[in-house]
Amino acid sequence: MTGVRGARVIRVLPDAVANQIAAGEVVERPASVVKELVENALDARAALVEVHIERGGKRRIRVVDDGVGMVREDALLALDRHATSKIHEASDLEGVRTFGFRGEALPSIAAVSRMVLETRHGTEEVGTRVRVSGGTITGVDEAPRRIGTTVDVERLFFNAPARAKFLKAVAAETRAVSEVMTTLALAHPGAGFTLVSDGRTLLEAPPARDLRSRVAALWGDALADTLLPVEAERDGALVRGLAQRPDAARPGLRRAHLFVNGRPFREPALVRAAERAYRTTIPDKARPWVFLYLTVPPGHVDVNVHPAKAEVRFRDRAAVEALVEEAVRAALTGVDSAAPFERGRIGRGEGAAADAVGAATGPSGEAPPDGFGPAAAGREAP
């Protein structure tokens, strides 16, 4: 590099500017904020998580949990970038089991909003309230409250108008938040989730005893009753879940939810592997619902390949695809095939349950897209 001696042109950005730039990868829209905050709550062992949004989250997002909470020092440290309790050294990334691990969520959200963090740990008699505006702490107080954490985010992108103008209409942002909540509720059937939008409850899923019960709470018994158990294991990898009976499959968007070691992710190749198991049993355009939970040794999957942690990389993806196809095919053994299509519709002879499932939709009013939340909304996976 050449330049005039003494005329420095490179300088370190102020923390507030650096955090706002970093927030661009973590915080894309209100649904991104909800995802990060709810994942933090789940990592804190919350049994109940409530989310309240106003105007699709553009005006306000409030996430309340009953997790373990934080002591005062940790509440302040959590607002520093790369401050995390989840990992301590690079090698820990190979075995990470938590949703979050980079220590970027809270400071990134705080950098582009006006945020109030309230929390209390069981070892303290009183909680802590931290106020932040545009990444700058403006106040720290004591806060009498129960154990757990509440994060209140207002005026998202108030200091980044160029990003705010790219947000979609309230209905679209609300739909994206609903899809994120649905995915996280599926990832943790044992926890309870509530989503309230402008005073109206959109999702209410109490702690469930199993996945089928959680599906019933989200989409109704008509769908849950068409699902078959899936389970297979090979070379230390395990897949469990539910797959829809062929006679209940309908045309439309792919209706697949994928999880690995408790983490939701997108992988069209695995969805196609599951659908290959349905060959000769459903028409070409039919899309069965599948809910697949993979458990693999931590060193066999890399979850640190996408800013939003929506994608993963398997050490041997072909083996995982084969396991998924084998598991779904085994679940369908002996099950009746679908009736043929006639002019784009299922032919006569199918049961009433299948008719009911044809109308089943997610909280957003449409079948959930391929694998994971708002990033895939409104499109069909390849």
Q: Enumerate domains of the chain plus CATH numbers.
A: 15-205 (3.30.565.10), 221-376 (3.30.230.10)
* Predicted local confidence at residue 350, as pLDDT: 40
Question: What's the CA gap between 28 and 35, in Å, rounded?
Answer: 11
* Predicted local confidence at residue 364, as pLDDT: 37
Could you list the beta-strand ranges (E) of 1-113.
48-54, 60-65
Q: 313: closest CA among 29, 136, 94, 42?
A: 94
Question: What's the CA gap between 136 and 130, in Å, rounded?
Answer: 10
Q: What is the mean pLDDT of residues 183-191?
A: 97
Backbone angles phi, psi at 179, to 5 degrees: -65, -40
- Cα–Cα distances (Å) from 185 to 190, 193, 227, 268, in that order, read 9, 6, 18, 21
* Predicted local confidence at residue 82, as pLDDT: 53
Model confidence band, residue 156 (pLDDT cutoffs 50, 70, 90): very high
Q: What is the mean pLDDT of residues 167-190?
A: 98
Least confident of 134-138, 214-218, 271-275, 346-350: 346-350
Q: Has residue 326 got a pLDDT over 60? A: yes
pTM over 0.75: yes
- CA 132 from chain centre, in angstroms, equals 25
Question: What's the CA gap between 74 and 121, in Å, rounded?
Answer: 10
Enclosing H/E stretch for 201: strand 200-205
Model confidence band, residue 24 (pLDDT cutoffs 50, 70, 90): low
The shares of helix, strand and coil residues in the chain, as percent rounded to the nearest 5, are 30, 25, 40
In the block, which residue shows the tokens 């002019």? Answer: 343
Model confidence band, residue 302 (pLDDT cutoffs 50, 70, 90): confident
Q: Mean pLDDT, the chain, as a whole number?
A: 83
* Predicted local confidence at residue 203, as pLDDT: 98
Model confidence band, residue 16 (pLDDT cutoffs 50, 70, 90): low
Model confidence band, residue 81 (pLDDT cutoffs 50, 70, 90): low
Cβ-contact 112, 26 below 8 angstroms: no
Model confidence band, residue 172 (pLDDT cutoffs 50, 70, 90): very high
Q: Has residue 381 got a pLDDT over 90? A: no
Model confidence band, residue 104 (pLDDT cutoffs 50, 70, 90): confident
Question: What's the CA gap between 47 and 62, in Å, rounded?
Answer: 17
* Predicted local confidence at residue 310, as pLDDT: 73
Q: Has residue 40 got a pLDDT over 90? A: yes
Model confidence band, residue 280 (pLDDT cutoffs 50, 70, 90): confident
* Predicted local confidence at residue 93, as pLDDT: 44
pLDDT of 44-66, one tens digit each? 999 999 999 999 999 999 999 99
pLDDT of 115-148, one tens digit each? 999 999 999 999 999 999 999 999 999 999 999 9
